[in-house]
């Protein structure tokens, strides 16, 4: 079984994001009692495959290193960019590299999001994701929102937050909980907060409740640890 793990996130120039992923790696390492590192796909001085190589050079050459993509959606980064970078690293390294599915594929994530929504009373819910312009790229968010008794809204493509809030207000909703579907706070979540302030002024009498992203929490740490354990258990089961 792997004894070394490398958590891979999108990356950001926002210092809050950088601190968060470092803290997350430390806390997952403590829970797993194994070596855990971090790498980013974008906004780094070197490409991901070079980060993988440097991490592997600091590990035991006999260890299997498992890469864990902490991505919430199965987009281009998960399906194309990360596998391409891993293959480059494999061609240059003598160590064994394996990769888990992306974190967003975990059933436990849906339960965690449901708990976040239930922490605030509301008569309507919005699950707000970045959004994709790829055909069917937003279908996973729409399906997830349906499971959470919410509607899906997107930051970069329609239907956007303003349109979704307006639709719910026209339906008579008075309290709307909005959950940004992001790992950590950053520039986009700041912009979301500013827009919600503007919408609150426009729709006076409507209570717009902005929830925080997942952030570094006990729940997220436990989710990642359980996710890794489940992947390893699945690999250890020999089909009969």
Mean pLDDT of 64-92: 94
Same CATH fold assignment for domains 4-104+216-236 and 120-210: yes
Q: What percent of the chain has pLDDT over 70?
A: 97
CA distance 72 to 70: 7
- What is the mean pLDDT of the segment spanning 185-204? 95
Q: Is the pLDDT of residue 192 over 70?
A: yes
The whole-number average pLDDT for the span 31-43 is 95
What distance in Å separates the CA atoms of residue 29 and residue 240, rounded to the nearest whole number? Answer: 34
pLDDT at 153 over 90: yes
Give residue limits of the domains in the chain: 4-104+216-236, 120-210
pLDDT attached to residue 47: 98
CATH classification code of 120-210: 3.40.50.1400
**pLDDT at 58 > cutoff 60:** yes
Cα 49 versus chain centre, distance: 20
Do 23 and 85 form a contact (C-beta atoms < 8 A)?
Answer: no
Query: Is the predicted pLDDT of residue 136 greater than 90, yes or no?
Result: no
Band of residue 16 on the pLDDT scale cut at 50, 70, 90: very high
- 177-188 core/surface letters (b: 16 or more CB in 10 A; e: else): bbbbbbbbbbeb
Distance, in Å, from the CA atom of 240 to the CA atom of 46, rounded to the nearest integer, reads: 44
pLDDT for the residue 186: 92
* pLDDT of the residue at 240: 39
Helix axes 187-202, 161-170, angle to 10 degrees: 30
- Fold (CATH) for 4-104+216-236: Rossmann fold (3.40.50)
Q: What is the mean pLDDT of residues 106-133?
A: 94
| Cis upstream peptide for 232 (omega within 30°) | no
């Amino acid at each position: 079984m792997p004894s070394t793990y490398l958590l891979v996130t999108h990356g950001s120039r926002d210092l809050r994001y950088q601190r968060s992923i470092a803290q997350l790696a430390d806390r997952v390492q403590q829970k797993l009692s194994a070596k855990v590192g971090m790498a980013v796909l974008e906004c780094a001085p070197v490409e991901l495959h070079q980060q993988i190589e440097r991490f592997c050079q600091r590990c035991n050459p006999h260890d299997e290193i498992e890469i864990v993509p902490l991505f919430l959606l199965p987009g281009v980064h998960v399906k194309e960019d990360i596998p391409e970078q891993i293959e480059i690293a494999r061609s240059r390294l003598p160590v064994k590299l394996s990769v888990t599915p992306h974190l967003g594929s975990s059933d436990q994530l849906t339960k965690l999001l449901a708990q976040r929504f239930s922490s605030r009373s509301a008569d309507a819910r919005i699950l707000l994701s970045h959004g994709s312009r790829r055909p069917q790229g937003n279908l996973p968010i729409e399906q997830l929102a349906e499971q959470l008794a919410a509607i899906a809204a997107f930051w970069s493509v329609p239907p956007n937050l303003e349109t979704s809030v307006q639709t719910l207000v026209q339906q008579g909703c008075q309290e709307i909980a909005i959950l940004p579907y992001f790992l950590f706070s950053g520039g986009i979540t700041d912009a979301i907060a500013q827009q919600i302030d503007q919408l609150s002024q426009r729709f006076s009498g409507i209570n717009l409740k902005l929830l925080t992203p997942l952030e570094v929490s006990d729940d997220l740490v436990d989710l990642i640890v359980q996710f890794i354990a489940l992947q390893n258990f699945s690999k250890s089961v020999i089909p009969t």
